[in-house]
């Protein structure tokens, strides 16, 4: 039982920590004219420097104002894997420091600094709202509930393992879209306070593949995300 839970939680943790802003490159037919040249890791790092210098202090201030005892000293960096697909994600280091990582491909794809500032604000918001921990709890609850049901139904060890994997996934995804919208809302505030335009920044979503409203998908439809950003920005 303990091993099963560990497997389920390990499986779910793999995607929990990778809060993915986008996972795939826009397809060739959507952009036949010009594809942004891929920046090197150091070029991407230079492009991000001025944005980081404005967004990080605001994110840190908002984080301290909104949380208690949380490490708010964000480390914002470029993924060392030069050929990683367009993505940005938030993780926490072993010492508890929040880290926001951009791949060079995402930085290359951004049309303006507002887009990069918005992605940064969105990822910082995930940390402030404790989304990694909340998703881990959701995963654990899902694994335990399904595990108990499967055990009660007389499942053997291998079936129980598989059932708990599914339970962890379902549990983790149950609130995932809400977490994304929450991060978009707070990310809009951070972006605005850092002096960038969050509505212009969220136009990034119009160029990435729309996940649509998939059952148990991890991300909400792009139109819903843009609407949330516009609503929030209108009140600022």
Q: Please report how close the Cβ of residue 12 comes to Zn ion at its closest, in angstroms.
A: 16
CB of 46 to Zn ion, least distance (A): 25
Q: Tell the smallest beta-carbon distance from residue 122 to Zn ion (Å).
A: 6
Binding window for Zn ion (CB under 5 A); candidates: 12-20, 27-35, 44-52, 54-62: 12-20
Cβ-based nearer residue to Zn ion, 22 or 169: 22
- Choose one: 13-21, 43-51, 163-171, 200-208; the region binding Zn ion (CB under 5 A): 13-21
3-state secondary structure the chain: CHHHHHHHHHHHHHHHCCCCCCCCCCCHHHCCCCCCCCCCHHHHHHHHHHHHHHHHHHHHHHHHHHCCCCCCCCEEEECCCCCCCCCEEEEECCCCCEEEEECHHHHHHCCCHHHHHHHHHHHHHHHHCCHHHHHHHHHHHHHHHHHHHHHHCCCCHHHHHHHHHHHHHHHHHHCHHHHHHHHHHHHHHHHHHCCCCHHHHHHHHHHCCCCCCCCCCCCCCHHHHHHHHHHHHHCC
Task: Map residues 174-203 to x or -, x wherever contact with Zn ion holds by CB under 5 A.
Answer: ------x--x--------------------
**Minimum CB distance to Zn ion smaller for 19 or for 189:** 19
Site for Zn ion contains 19 (CB under 5 A): yes
Rounded least distance, CB 180 to Zn ion, Å = 5
Query: In angstroms, what is the minimal distance from the CB of 187 to Zn ion?
Result: 8
Residue 178 or 231 with smaller CB distance to Zn ion = 178
Which residue number places its CB atom closest to Zn ion? 19
Site residues (CB under 5 A) for Zn ion?
19, 180, 183
């Amino acid at each position: 039982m303990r091993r099963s839970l560990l497997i389920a939680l390990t499986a779910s943790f793999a995607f929990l920590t990778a809060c993915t802003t986008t996972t795939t490159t826009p397809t060739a037919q959507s952009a036949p004219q010009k594809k942004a040249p891929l920046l090197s890791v150091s070029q991407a790092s230079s492009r991000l420097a001025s944005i980081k210098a404005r967004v990080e202090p605001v994110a840190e201030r908002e984080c301290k104002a909104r949380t208690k005892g949380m490490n708010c000293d964000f480390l914002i960096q470029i993924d060392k894997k030069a050929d990683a697909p367009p993505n940005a994600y938030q993780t926490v280091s072993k010492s508890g420091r929040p880290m926001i990582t951009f791949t060079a491909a995402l930085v290359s794809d951004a049309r303006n600094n507002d887009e990069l500032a918005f992605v940064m604000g969105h990822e910082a918001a995930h940390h402030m709202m404790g989304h990694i921990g909340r998703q881990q709890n959701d995963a654990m609850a899902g694994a335990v509930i399904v595990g108990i049901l499967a055990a009660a139904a007389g499942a053997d060890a291998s079936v129980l393992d598989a059932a708990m994997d599914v339970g962890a996934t379902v549990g983790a995804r149950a609130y995932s879209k809400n977490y994304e919208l929450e991060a978009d809302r707070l990310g809009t505030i951070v972006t605005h306070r850092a002096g960038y335009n969050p509505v212009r920044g969220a136009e990034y979503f119009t160029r990435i593949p729309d996940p649509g409203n998939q059952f148990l998908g991890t991300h909400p439809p792009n139109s819903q995300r843009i609407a949330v950003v516009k609503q929030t920005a209108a009140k600022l």
